[in-house]
Amino acid sequence: MLSRLSSRLQWFLFLAICSALLSTSTPPLTDEVGRVRRYTRQIEFDYVDWMLGAMTMKLEQGAAGLPGYLDPTARKQAVMEYLQVTKQILDGEAALQHIYADATVKDKQAATATLRAQLSGEYSRQDELAPIAEAVLQEQITQTLAEQGLTTLGQPVPSVLFHSSPVPNALIVSPRDVIKQIANISVVADLPIDRQEALEARVDKDLNVSSLVVPIGGVGVYPTMIMQTTSLSWLLDTIAHEWTHNYLNLRPLGLQYDKTPEMRTMNETTASISGTEIGTLVLKRYYPELAGASFAGDGLASLPLEHPDPGTLPRPTFDFRAEMHTTRVAVDAMLAQGRIDEAEAYMKQRQQVFLRNGYLIRKLNQAYFAFYGAYADVPGGAAGEDPVGPAVRLLRQKSPSLAAFINRISWMSSFDELKQAVKQ
C-alpha cells in the first residue's frame, strides 16, 4: 500500500512539474509561429508521448533500487560499458547508412545482414545497460548539486532525471532583415536532409524569412531528453545544462524564456555556464582519468558544434570562434543598413570558408545566428557583439558561488535587471 501511494505521489509530482516545464519547451502560440506550423504539423515531435514513456521507465528504475546495490567500481564500469556499446551502435548505424547510400551495392539486404545482426545484439545490450548507467549519472549529478547548494531541503528540485534517446530537430525561423528567433518548432528526429532542405525552401519562399533545421543535444522537458553520445564529458555537461533549464523554468527567468531575445540568451547562457561547471566537477570527482580529455575520436554524435570534421585537417591557425564572431558582426552591420541580399551572399561565401577549414556547417544564414547566438557562455562566436552574454558571464564572476549566481539570475525578468545587477 505504501509503495502504491509513493508511486501515485511521484506521478502527481511528475504531472505538476511537466505542466510547468512543457509550457516553456513548446513554441508560444503567436501569429508568426502559427504561420510556420502550417508547414510542420505533420512532422512535429510528440513530447507528451515521449515524456510519459520516459517517466514510466524512471519509476521502474526507482522501484528496482538502481543503482543502490552496486559498489563504486561497478557503477563506473556500467557507465563506461554503456558508452562503449553506444559507440559501437553509432559506428554501425553510420556504416549501414553508407551501404544504403552506395549505388554500386545492389543487394543491400544481403550486404548488411551481418551488420544488422550485430546491431540487434548491441541494441539489446544497450537496453540492459541504459537504466543502470542513467541512474548512476543521475545520482552523481544530484550529489554534486547538493554539494554546490543547489537544493531545497537537501534535494534538487526538480530531481535529476534524464533519458538518452534520438532527439528531435528544431526548425528555427528568423526575419531576413534582423537576426531574431521568431519560431522554434521541434520536428521528428529522423527527418532526412532532403526533406529538411525542402521544408526550409518552402518556409523561406512563402513567408519571406530565413529558416534552418538544426540538430539539438538535449531538451529541458521532464525527464530531460539527451542525445545519445559517446563523450562522457559532453553527456554530463548536457544533463546538467538541461536540469538547469528545469530549475529556471520554475522561476521567472525560465517562465519568461520567450519574452524577449535577451531573456532567451540569459537562459541559455546561464544553463551553459551551469552545465559546464557541474559537468566538470562530476568528471573530476568520479572519472578523474577522463578529465580534460579531447572530444576527438569520440564519434560524430558527441562532437560539439565547433569541432571540425575528424575526416578533414583544418588549418592550425583557423580560429572558429574568432571567424564566426567576425562573420556575425559583419552580417549585423549589413542588415542594419538594409543590405539584406548582400548579407545573405556574404554568409554563403563564409559558409564555404568554414567548410574548407573542416567545419561542416550545412547552411549559414540569419536563422543559424538566431539559434546559436544565444549560447554565449564563452566570448566570441555566433553571438557577435550582443551584450547579454558578457553581462551573464560578469554576474557569474562577481558571484561567490554557482548557487548564488543561479539563484540571483533565476528571479530576473528582464535584461535591465541584469544590467543593474552587474553595476552593483
> What confidence tens digit (pLDDT) does each residue in 197-227 have?
999 999 999 999 999 999 999 998 999 999 9
Q: Side by side, which strands form the sheet with 224-226? A: 162-164, 224-226, 218-219
Least confidently predicted of 7-21, 59-73, 137-151, 227-241? 7-21
Q: What pLDDT does 315 receive?
A: 56
Rounded alpha-carbon distances, angstroms, from residue 161 to 100, 102, 272, 286, 312: 36, 40, 18, 19, 37
Rounded distance between C-alpha atoms, residue 177 and residue 300, angstroms? 34
User: Does the N-terminal peptide bond of residue 158 adopt cis geometry, omega within 30 degrees of 0?
Assistant: yes
Q: How far is CA 29 from CA 201, 249, 356, in A?
A: 23, 18, 40
Alpha-carbon span 264 to 257, nearest angstrom? 5
Host H or E run for residue 137: helix 113-147
Closest CA to 242 of 153, 137, 152: 137
**Mind listing the pLDDT tens digit for each residue in 50-84?**
999 999 888 887 766 667 778 889 999 999 999 99
Average pLDDT estimate for 374-393: 93
Q: How far apart are CA 111 and CA 98, in angstroms?
A: 11
Q: Name the grid cell of 42.
A: 505533420
Provide the whole-model pTM. Answer: 0.85
Cβ 80 vs Cβ 133: under 8 Å: no
172: phi then psi, degrees, rounded to nearest 5: -100, 135
3-state DSSP helix/strand/coil % of the chain, to nearest 5: 60, 5, 30
